Structure 1
Amino acid sequence: MRTDLLQEARRQAGICNACRYCEGYCAVFPALQAERAFSDGDLTQLANLCHNCRGCYYACQYTAPHEFDLNLPKALADVRQDSWEDFAVPRAAARAFQKNGVAIAAAAMLGFALLFWAAQALASAGGDGFYTVLSHNAMVAIFLPSFLLPLLSMGIGLSRYWRAVDGAPVRLSHLRAAFASAANMRNLKGGHGDGCNFEDEDRFTHARRAAHQAVMYGFLLCFAATGVATVMHYVLDMPAPYGIFSAPKILGLSGGVLLVLGCAEMIRLKLRADKDLGAAHAFGGEVGFIGLLGVVGLSGLALYAATGTGWMPTLLVLHLGAVLAFFLLTPFTKMAHGFYRLAALTRDAQRQGQRQGQRPGS
């Protein structure tokens, strides 16, 4: 990890620790104020615990033109981004995506779509519905390793993170606290529960929190649709295609709508936000990831609407290309932040439990 980024974050964290004006703003400040000095692992943990709501920046009396020149959201965002790239496997892929995210996402999606188009043009798959274009077995053979290999890569990255932040064995109570915080996006509520200052410094809104929730729950619903369809196919002997009132369709359609709306709102917010309060060099990678995820949802909805029409084969290969690109690029995109943030929340739950255990009479 780059020493200059850690040194700047360490300088700013020391000043914040002395000031303590933002004590109740989010999970970062209790964790920050629990330390007297900050190791590289401490700073990596604080950076991944930060949700970049930016409330502390607009409340701070030591921002530029003050000589302290504090910009804690940016300092932590730089360390956070650098940590994802450093822990990624392979590292070069993560750095390349952050610099050229939009181009890489578009090229991967279109490239895979062309491969799917060539495959269906060269052979007749047979079957019903989508399987007239590509057989069920072919889809499983392509997408199962494309799902498992990125998970393996993420697992290696998370193990590196856990060692870096000196993580202890995880208990169920730690996971329960972390998932509860992630489920309602507690740290995106802002310092006083009024929301983030992400759009304008004098305007608190919950728009970013709502957009994140739409994307998260939309993705989980789509994932649940795939899981339910898998059980129906292999366990209940109920192969696709499924009707509109079936569980896979209800979950998939509602998840797709949430994904599209959430991604559109997140891109709108990012375009309006102050890039100097985040990792500016990774802006293209962030937009590329959000755009790719939005295309996955939008192409899925369009594909369902076009079922039974001449547009179905074209939309199917585009959708499959987007899904495959999303899976394979996951360890190198901002999708990884969900895993690292959950790990940071788990580590923070450990810290709180350890401190409570050290109190006299506890």
Structure 2
Amino acid sequence: MQTLEALTRDAQALANGEIVLSAPETEVARQMQICNACRYCEGFCAVFPAMTRRLEFGKADIHFLANLCHNCGACLHACQYAPPHEFAVNVPQAMAQVRGQTYADYAWPPALGQLYQRQGLTLSLALVAALTLFLVLGAVLQGGGLGALWGADLGGNFYHLFPHNLLVGLFAPVFLFVVLALGMGVRRFWKNIKPVTSGVDVSAPATAEAADAVLRLKYLDGGHGDGCHNEDDAYTLSRRRFHHFTFYGFLLCFAATSVATLYHYLFDQPAPYELPSLPKLLGVAGGMSLLVGTVGLWYLSLRRHPLHGDAAQKPMDRGFIALLFLTSASGLALWLGRGTPALALLLCLHLGAVMALFATLPYGKFAHGIFRTASLLRYAVEKRQPNPIGLSAD
């Protein structure tokens, strides 16, 4: 909720040159002024009720609204001012361009924010190949020559090739850095958007509402439950469903790794695990779900309407999808091929894919889930406050 004092302060800062809007931010502010006068889409998603609580749109407001947008496309297909109208209102595309900017603006360390512009399919695949080659060379050089890669007698246990402590030493620092980098980035984002939207603390009901919106992907329903748009004007729930497969597949795979860690350290039960053990059940279910979700999202990405989203970010999007797919596919292949001569090669491929995924998490498409969650929480807090005088209720 923006007070009169906040509006005056932001206006003065803009006049003094202390706050300079980028071209994408200026475009979002322009379109929001038009939408605020029209309000046809007010019931579509969280963006438009949040918009109606503002008379002007400062930098923090724009960042908040951009990350609140789920790019479902419903408002674009319903808008009477969409291209080719001279107003050229395209909220999904304008918001997507600002979202890409916010990822870089709030990156930690700041100097690495430019990596968002360099993420792409080619780089992702090249990173997997390079890390896989590194692991292959490591396996060859530690003894056994090429025989360590094909037909080696590992007894179905990949720790015979790469010891547990070695893998922990490789992955633990990367994982901790990912958590730190994303945590510091979203902390800065939250700090910037909180004073502008409201100074009220987070409550339990607001947290529960935001969590529900995240877990159900509520705002991928097009605002009416029939779904959003993809390549045409037809409603579809396919994007929501494939996002669910991907999201919950990733969570299940993470849960499998976490449970396996507990088995190893608390119960002295090291891998490998067999069905129906809990780590294996979670891992297989997560891998299959992730496989289905990423294939579906890739298909939809190829067919997406050209006016949806930011074309410049498609390489980053597809690179992330490819890494998730390779991680799940190689993990399932490793499980199915554990008793074959290809075990060592499959292990190197899987570990290379996982390492590439984790190395790019803080500076790739994964960030959108973190920033969007923060924006949904901010929205849930804000909507519980009195509406500014003179503006309509949600």
TM-score range normalised by the length of the shorter chain: over 0.9
Contact map agreement 2:21 2:59 (CA 8 A) in 1: no
Partner of 2:7: none
What TM-score, normalized by structure 1, do the two folds share?
0.94
* Whole-angstrom CA distance in 2 between matches of 1:334 and 1:92: 18
Residue in structure 1 matching 2:106, options 61, 83, 87: 87
Residue deviations 1:248-289 (CA, integer Å, cap 9, x gap): 111000100010110010011011012332111111111011
Q: What residue in structure 2 maps to residue 21 of structure 1?
A: 40
- For the aligned residue pairs, the C-alpha RMSD in angstroms reads 2.0
Q: For residues 234-273 of structure 1, what are the structure 2 equivalents within 5 Å?
A: 234-273=265-304
Whole-Å separation in 2 of the counterparts to 1:147 and 1:316? 19
2:54 aligned partner: 35
Q: How many residues of Structure 1 are paired with residues of Structure 2 in the alignment?
A: 358
Q: Is the 8 A contact 2:263 2:270 kept in 1?
A: yes
**Rounded Cα–Cα distance in structure 1 between residues aligned with 2:325 and 2:192:** 33
1: CA distance between counterparts of 2:172 and 2:183?
17
Counterpart of 1:175 (choices 203, 207, 219) is: 207
Residue 345 of structure 2, aligned match among 307, 314, 317: 314
1:192 maps onto 2:192 in alignment = no
Answer yes or no: is the 8 Å Cα contact 2:53–2:387 preserved in 1.
no
1:1-362 equivalences in 2 (<5 Å): 3-91=22-110, 93-123=112-142, 129-166=157-194, 168=199, 169-201=201-233, 203-355=234-386
User: How far off its partner does 1:29 sit?
Assistant: 0.6
TM-score (norm 2): 0.87
Unpaired segments of 5 or more residues in structure 2?
A: 1-19, 149-153, 390-394
8 Å Cα contact 2:103/2:116 also seen in 1: no
Higher mean C-alpha displacement, 161-170 vs 74-83: 161-170
In structure 2, C-alpha distance between the alignment counterparts of 1:68 and 1:356, rounded to whole Å: 28
The Cα of 1:237 is off from its aligned counterpart by 1.1
Shift of 1:244: 1.7
Residue 235 of structure 2 aligns to a residue in which SS?
strand
State the 1:164 CA deviation. Answer: 2.0
Which structure has the larger Rg over C-alpha atoms? 2
Q: Is the 8 A contact 2:260 2:279 kept in 1?
A: yes
- Give the counterpart letter for 1:219 in structure 2: F
Change (3 A) 1:127 1:353: farther
Quick one: structure 1 residues 211 and 94, their matched pair in 2 at CA, closer, same or farther if it must change by over 3 Å? farther
CA deviation after TM superposition for structure 1 residue 96, in Å: 3.8
User: Structure 1 counterpart of 2:228, which letter?
Assistant: C
Deviation of 1:245 after TM superposition, in Å, equals: 0.9
State the AA in 2 paired with 1:145: P
**Cα distance, 1:179 vs. partner?**
1.1
Alpha-carbon offset, residue 235 of structure 1: 0.4
Deviations 1:334-360 (A, max 9, x none): 1111111111111111101223899xx
**Contact 1:94–1:331 (CA under 8 A) maintained in structure 2:** no
The one-letter code of the counterpart of 2:217 is M
More helix per residue: 1
CA distance in 1, matches of 2:78, 2:303: 20
Q: Which amino acid in 1 is paired with 2:275?
A: I
SS in structure 1 of the partner of residue 365 of structure 2: coil
